[in-house]
Amino acid sequence: MAIEHIVIVGGGTAGWMAAAALSRLKAARELRITLVESEAIGTVGVGEATIPPFVGFNQALQIDEREMMAACQATFKLGIQFTNWGRRGDSYLHPFGNYGYEIDGVAFHHVWHRLKAGGDKRPIQVFNLETMAAHFGKFARQEDYQRGQDLPPMNYAYHIDAGRYAQFLRRYAETRGVIRQEGRVDDVALDGESGDVAAITLQSGERIDGDLFIDCSGFRGLLIEQALETGYEDWTHWLPCDRAVALPCNRDDGSGPPPFTRATAHAAGWQWQVPLQHRNGNGHVYCSRYMSDDEAHDILVNNLAGKPTADPNFLRFTTGRRKKFWNRNVVAVGLSGGFMEPLESTSIHLINTAITKLIAILSFDGITDTQRDAFNRLTGKEFERIRDFLILHYNATERDDSEFWNYCRTMDVPDTLTEKVELFRSNGQIFREDDELFTETSWAAVMMGQGVMPGSRNAMADSVGPDVMGGEVDGIEQSIRWLVERLPAHGDYLARYCPAP
């Protein structure tokens, strides 16, 4: 059946990102796109930290960065600072961008290990521009410091007000012909023969027929689960946190927004701090087996950088993934497809890649099993690689100060993760598999940041000549220092580049 009408159910970040991206297809063909959302139900109301591919998503939509950032009171983000994970009191930054660069075909962290073995005391962080800029609270876009010189780019993402971003994309999508329909979906009709979703019916009685349905209805999975009973793979045994409490606050100490997210571990979970221009987003992700809602709320309130600006928002979730992301003529995008806690800000990224894959795969002549299978296989791999990376944060720890950490430290982990950690422990090698999101630097940053160190040196590192070891490596450090000294403070840059109206 030809695809002439796409119906998106849900108007949170997932729904409006899908609507905005799909609206661009309307320029080339007769295509109807309807988005149904219910103001009475509302959105999940969290989800403010992103990662660098999100910058590309906005660029692909030809969105003006300044305009979007001003509208969403956004800040720049250079990485995530993890505190208390490997041991209480420890802190490291997982930066966007790489440590140094490959030298004579050898990954930089191998070169650094050789230097270290030879007595060099410099931490690997001084060879990463994003870490150093974050440390000093500095930021500028490459266009503003390059000026004909050969300086490295700064890899960045944004912290955004999620509600404002959805509104921003709504304006974008409606301008390009997407029809927004307010109303609550009360019934989903399946086609008697094919089992596909044929139509949804709103509380008002209005029926909306469609050819392809995108389920962006959030955790409830209105179409993918409630109607199609697709099933869910539960990953709670590996990622045991199942609750969160969110509470925004002002920044009344007068400090500027730091260009990074904070993830601070507590006794049975961790706390996020996401700095926007006008406030901080905060939340505490925790495990209900080891901590009550009241305790979690108290810990959060006692660790806020300012006064709360809203009531606490308590959320429940089950970490895992839908058994199929694309089932019949329904594609689950966003929370309806699965959920992993926001430790590495990956949910909005998974919305981005789901939409990008869908648009790449879609043929308007109809849906085939091959399309569905490819989408499900590729999305499943993406989820699993991210899952392993998140588990690493909990498992690579020496913490033994609570039942929660004892569980995490000693739990069985997926074989894929065991192999990755063992290879690194052996000689520092990291293989990036299945085109996975996280880079060698990401894996190395978290492993080394949490005390996993290679036992011996990678043989290739010894092949790098002494002149290169000295000159080139020193050059990397010096150019980063030179640049960071000259960068403006992040807050000053924001005030010039994209002040909130």
| Residues at the contact surface with ligand FAD, assessed by CB under 6 A | 10-15, 36-38, 41-44, 46-50, 162, 184-185, 216-218, 220, 222, 244, 246, 283, 315, 317, 334-336, 342, 345, 347-348, 351
209 φ, ψ (degrees, to nearest 5):
-85, 155
User: Do the strands 243-246 and 280-286 form a parallel or antiparallel pair, or are they unpaired?
Assistant: antiparallel
**Based on CB atoms, which residue is closest to ligand FAD, 66 or 184?**
184
From the CB of 248, what's the least distance to ligand FAD, in Å? 12
The residue type of 380 is G
**Based on CB atoms, which residue is closest to ligand FAD, 186 or 400?**
186
Helix (H) or strand (E) holding 421: helix 415-427
**Based on CB atoms, which residue is closest to ligand FAD, 109 or 262?**
262
From the CB of 121, what's the least distance to ligand FAD, in Å? 35
- What would you measure as the largest C-alpha separation in the chain, in angstroms? 76
The residue type of 7 is V
Whose structure tokens read 């049975």?
268
Handedness of CA 274, 280, 281, 282 (dihedral sign): positive
Query: How many CB atoms are located within 10 Å of the residue 365 CB?
Result: 9
324 catalytic residue (yes or no): no
CA angle 280, 282, 283 (to 5 degrees): 170
User: Do the strands 212-215 and 5-9 form a parallel or antiparallel pair, or are they unpaired?
Assistant: parallel
Q: What's the Cα-to-Cα distance from 99 to each of 147, 219, 439, 444, 451, rounded to whole Å?
A: 24, 37, 11, 9, 17
From the CB of 53, what's the least distance to ligand FAD, in Å? 11
From the CB of 467, what's the least distance to ligand FAD, in Å? 44
**Based on CB atoms, which residue is closest to ligand FAD, 54 or 99?**
54
Q: Which residues does 155 contact at the CB level (< 8 Å), separation at least 6? A: 52, 78, 95, 96, 97, 130
Q: Which residues does 243 contact at the CB level (< 8 Å), separation at least 6? A: 285, 286, 287, 288, 293, 296, 314, 315, 316, 317
- 46/325 Cα distance (integer angstroms): 22
Query: Which token pair is 332?
Result: 């689950």
**Based on CB atoms, which residue is closest to ligand FAD, 271 or 458?**
271
**Based on CB atoms, which residue is closest to ligand FAD, 132 or 169?**
169
Q: What's the Cα-to-Cα distance from 142 to each of 125, 151, 155, 167, 482, rounded to whole Å?
A: 20, 8, 9, 29, 14
- 97/77 Cα distance (integer angstroms): 12
Proportion of the chain in helix, strand, coil states, percent, rounded to 5: 40, 20, 40
**Based on CB atoms, which residue is closest to ligand FAD, 129 or 214?**
214
- 69/74 Cα distance (integer angstroms): 5
Chain centroid to CA 288: how far? 23
- 259/262 Cα distance (integer angstroms): 10
What is the distance in angstroms between the CA of the first residue and the CA of the last residue of the chain?
47
Catalytic residue, candidates 26, 77, 121, 420: 77
Query: Which token pair is 326?
Result: 């694309």
**Based on CB atoms, which residue is closest to ligand FAD, 222 or 358?**
222
**Based on CB atoms, which residue is closest to ligand FAD, 308 or 488?**
308
Q: If phi over 0 gives left and psi between -120 and 50 gives alpha, with beta otherwise, what is residue 233?
A: beta
Strands in 232-234's sheet, in edge-to-edge order, are 232-234, 320-322, 338-339
From the CB of 169, what's the least distance to ligand FAD, in Å? 11
From the CB of 108, what's the least distance to ligand FAD, in Å? 28
- 247/186 Cα distance (integer angstroms): 31
**Based on CB atoms, which residue is closest to ligand FAD, 132 or 391?**
391
User: Catalytic residues, which ones?
Assistant: 77
